[in-house]
Amino acid sequence: MSKTTISVIKADVGSFPGHSRTHPKLLEKAARLLKEQKGLLLIDSFVTHCGDDLELIMTHTQGVDNGEIHKLAWDVFTECTVIAKSMKLYGAGQDILADAFSGNIKGLGPGVAEIEFEERGSDPVLIFMADKAELGAWNFFLYKIFADPFNTPGLVIDPTMHQGFIFEVHDLCDKRRIMFTSPEEVYDLLAYIGAPSRYVIKHVFRRDGEIAASTSTQRLNLMAGRYVGKDDPVMIVRSQSGLPAVGEVLEPFCTPVLVAGWMRGSHQGPFMPVGVCDANCTRFDGPPRVTCLGFQLCNGELIGPADMFDDPAFDRVRNRCNELADIIRAQGPFEPHRLSLDEMECTTLPAGENELKKRWGPIP
């Protein structure tokens, strides 16, 4: 039986008003272009948005890092850019950093999370999408899902999960990677992933090698060589039957967690889980949002979606996120609401500082 690949590829190619939400015309265009490929390059597709990010969810049998799939996504983003420019949407074409496609969409602006596996008898998949958040925003949640028995009782109770999981961690600065096994090496794992601005979990595997999760790790500022905003990552998590249950995957999102991003990609803010109808950034260009669409796979067909955070069970965390937003916003331009100085290097602050350089003198 051939393997199924899920590719989630996203880009901000223009929004309205400002950086708040994607325009329906872009969503329609993207959905139509992908549907034209049904039965050809793709088995199935679904198009959605989180804030100002256009999200392409595609299934196929071409494997990860496939040039034709990446080119299809690139063509969708460039065609949507044409529409965004014709309407003078804000930031039209923002994440399209190259003039032409060159074999692989990674490094050209868009974010990519992909996963390839042999479908089980029944395969539930959860797709998470973020706006106004940094790449490492998933670290806390992936740790809780796959390594914390207080979150995931399956680690204790289910013999097929009892051996634990393997975390592949990437160092975004030195471009290197390392594998940690849990539970044996969780302290080493935490030493790194507790610094999500630099170390991000790329993949999670079960101990028998079965892939369980994959995230996007493309860093826009490094690719563009200038401030473009935070990367607004996506994540794919497989679930059930020897992997964490759907409810174990969703449970960590009941904790209000601060992530870097929000206004001007320069502030810590609460990561608020919302239904797709609420995935529009407003207050202080946020707060940072996360959505989750759930699907069953059926020979590559996407059965769904179910809008997982569109549920009163998440009302309380949303309220707590709003309270946290009030508390941290009161600090205005002071750290730790504003990001630390080394993280501000990737924002527009250093440009303003240049002006003041000549006015600094030695302390007498």
Catalytic residues: 12, 227, 230
Task: List the beta bridge partners of residue 167.
Answer: 180, 204
Kindly tell me which of 248 and 285 has the beta carbon lying closer to Mg ion: 285
From the list Mg ion, ligand F6R, none, pick the one residue 53 interacts with, judged by a Cβ distance below 5 to 8 Å according to partner type: Mg ion
Burial of 132 (0-12, 13-18, 19+ CB in 10 A): buried
Burial of 359 (0-12, 13-18, 19+ CB in 10 A): exposed
* Shortest distance in whole angstroms from residue 224 CB to ligand F6R: 13
Q: Which residue is nearest to ligand F6R (CB)?
A: 229
From the list Mg ion, ligand F6R, none, pick the one residue 275 interacts with, judged by a Cβ distance below 5 to 8 Å according to partner type: none
Going by C-alpha positions, the residue among 336, 339, 358, 355 that lies closest to residue 347 is: 339
From the list Mg ion, ligand F6R, none, pick the one residue 70 interacts with, judged by a Cβ distance below 5 to 8 Å according to partner type: none
* Shortest distance in whole angstroms from residue 287 CB to Mg ion: 13
Kindly tell me which of 53 and 307 has the beta carbon lying closer to ligand F6R: 53
The residue written with tokens 């079965």 in the block is 210
Residue type, 210: E
Kindly tell me which of 285 and 307 has the beta carbon lying closer to ligand F6R: 285
CA distance 148 to 125: 20
Kindly tell me which of 52 and 248 has the beta carbon lying closer to ligand F6R: 52
Q: Which residues bind Mg ion (CB under 5 A)?
A: 12, 19, 51-53, 91, 131, 232
From the list ligand F6R, Mg ion, none, pick the one residue 263 interacts with, judged by a Cβ distance below 5 to 8 Å according to partner type: ligand F6R
Kindly tell me which of 181 and 221 has the beta carbon lying closer to ligand F6R: 221
Q: Which residues bind ligand F6R (CB under 6 A)?
A: 18-19, 132, 229-230, 263-265, 285
C-alpha dist (Å) from residue 204 to 63, 162, 168, 201: 18, 15, 6, 8
From the list ligand F6R, Mg ion, none, pick the one residue 230 interacts with, judged by a Cβ distance below 5 to 8 Å according to partner type: ligand F6R
Written as six digits, the tokens of 204 are: 């999670």
C-alpha dist (Å) from residue 211 to 147, 166, 168, 236, 248: 15, 9, 11, 10, 17
* Shortest distance in whole angstroms from residue 352 CB to ligand F6R: 13
CA distance 140 to 252: 8
Going by C-alpha positions, the residue among 196, 177, 176, 193 that lies closest to residue 185 is: 193
CA distance 187 to 160: 23
